[in-house]
Structure 1
Amino acid sequence: MDEQAKRLHPFKIPFEMGKLLKGNIFFIIMLYILNFGSEKMYMKLLQIAFLIYLVWRVSSIILEWYTYKYQIKEGTIHITSGLISKSYRTIPLHKVQNIQRRTTVFHRIFKLTSLTFETGNSGDEGSVPFEVISQKEAERLEQTYSSSHDSILDAEVYVERSSADLESVTKKTIHFTPTTRDVLKASFTSLSFLALIPILATLYNTLDDFIDLRNAEGYAAQVLDTWWIVTIAITAFICIAVTFGIVSTFVKYGKYEISSDQERIHIRKGILDESSFSIRKEKVQAVEITQSMIKRMLGLAEVKLISAGSTGDEELDTNVLYPFLSVERAYGMIEEILPAYKVERSMEPLSKQAFKIRMLRPSFFWLLATAAICFFDIALWYISLILLVLIYTLRILDYKSSRYLLKGEFVQFKTGSLGTSLFLTKRSKVIQIEVKRSKLQKVFGLASIGTINRSIPVHHTKIRDVPVEYADDFHTWYLGRTQHIQTE
Structure 2
Amino acid sequence: MNKGKRMHGAAIVILFFGRIKDFLIPLILAFVVGGTGPNIFGFRLVFPIILAIMLIHSLLYWLTYRYSIEEGELRIKQGIFIKKNRYIRRHRVQSFDVTAGVLQRLFRLVKVRIETAGGGNEPEVEIVAVTKGEAKELRSMLLNRGTTEVHDTEAEETEEKKEEELEAHPVDYQWKLPVRDLFIAGLTSGGVGLVLSAVLALFTQVDQLLPETFYETTLGFFVESSIFVIIILIFLITVIAWIISIFITVIKYGNFSVVKRGNDLIISRGLLETRQLTLNIKRITTVRYVATMIRQPLGFTSVYVESAGGGSSDEQLSTLLLPLVRKKAANEILNEIVPDYVIEKQLTPLPKRALIRFMVRAVIPVLIVVIPAAVWLPFGNWLLIFIPVAFALGWLRYKDGGHAVTKRHVIFQTRHFNLTREVVPKKRIQSVEKSHSLFQRRMGLCTFTVSILSTAGGKSFSVRDMAEDDGNDLYQWYSYEKETQHEKKLGQNSL
Sort the TM-score into its range (normalised by shorter chain): 0.7 to 0.9
Offset at 1:401?
Answer: 1.0
Q: Which residue of 1 aligns with 2:131?
A: 134
Paired amino acid for 2:337: I
Offset at 1:197?
Answer: 9.3
Residues 239 and 127 from structure 1, CA distance in 2 versus in 1: closer, same or farther, beyond 3 angstroms?
closer
Q: Which residue of 2 aligns with 1:287?
A: 287
Aligned residues: 454
Contact 1:303 1:321 in 2 (8 A): yes
Residues 82 and 178 from structure 1, CA distance in 2 versus in 1: closer, same or farther, beyond 3 angstroms?
closer
Distance 2:412 2:366 in 1: 28
Offset at 1:304?
Answer: 0.6
Query: Deviations along 1:89-139, whole A, 9 cap, x unmatched?
Result: 111111111111111121112110011110123448851111111011000
Query: What does 1:36-75 correspond to in 2, within 5 Å?
Result: 40=38, 42-75=39-72
Distance 1:12 1:128 in 2: 15
Q: Which TM-score applies when normalising by structure 2?
A: 0.77
Query: Deviations along 1:220-270, whole A, 9 cap, x unmatched?
Result: xxxxxxxxxxxxxxxxx9999999777655443331111112212221011
Q: Which residue of 1 aligns with 2:396?
A: 397
Contact 1:175 1:333 in 2 (8 A): no
Q: Which residue of 1 aligns with 2:437?
A: 438
Offset at 1:6?
Answer: 0.3
Q: Which residue of 2 aligns with 1:264?
A: 264
The question of 1:275 aligning with 2:275 is answered yes
Distance 1:39 1:381 in 2: 42
Distance 1:4 1:48 in 2: 43
Q: Which residue of 2 aligns with 1:143?
A: 140
Q: Secondary structure at the match of 1:323?
A: strand
> Which consecutive residues of structure 2, in runs of 5 or more, have no partner in the other structure?
149-157, 211-236, 487-495
Q: What is the root-mean-square deviation in Å for CA atoms of aligned residues?
A: 4.6
Offset at 1:164?
Answer: 12
Q: Which residue of 2 aligns with 1:408?
A: 407
Distance 1:177 1:440 in 2: 49
Paired amino acid for 1:68: Y
Q: Which residue of 1 aligns with 2:11?
A: 12
User: Mean Cα displacement is larger for which, 21-30 or 128-137?
Assistant: 21-30
User: Mean Cα displacement is larger for which, 261-270 or 166-175?
Assistant: 166-175
Q: Which of residues 110, 114, 129 in structure 1 aligns to 2:111?
A: 114
Distance 1:39 1:384 in 2: 43
Query: What does 1:334-483 correspond to in 2, within 5 Å?
Result: 334-358=334-358, 365=365, 368-369=368-369, 377=376, 386=385, 388-416=387-415, 418-455=417-454, 456=456, 458-482=458-482
> Which consecutive residues of structure 1, in runs of 5 or more, have no partner in the other structure?
153-159, 210-236
Q: Which residue of 2 aligns with 1:314?
A: 314
Distance 1:434 1:290 in 2: 24
Distance 1:372 1:57 in 2: 50
Offset at 1:65?
Answer: 0.3
Query: Deviations along 1:8-27, whole A, 9 cap, x unmatched?
Result: 11000011122233344456
Contact 1:401 1:417 in 2 (8 A): no
Distance 1:163 1:64 in 2: 35
Residues 313 and 115 from structure 1, CA distance in 2 versus in 1: closer, same or farther, beyond 3 angstroms?
farther
Distance 1:365 1:398 in 2: 15
Distance 2:45 2:163 in 1: 66
Paired amino acid for 2:404: L
Distance 2:381 2:121 in 1: 50
Q: Which residue of 1 aligns with 2:175?
A: 176
Distance 1:115 1:67 in 2: 18
Contact 2:96 2:310 in 1 (8 A): no
Distance 2:195 2:447 in 1: 44
Query: Deviations along 1:147-203, whole A, 9 cap, x unmatched?
Result: 2x1336xxxxxxx9997995599543333112333234334323779999999999x
Percent identical pairs in the alignment equals: 22
Contact 1:427 1:481 in 2 (8 A): no
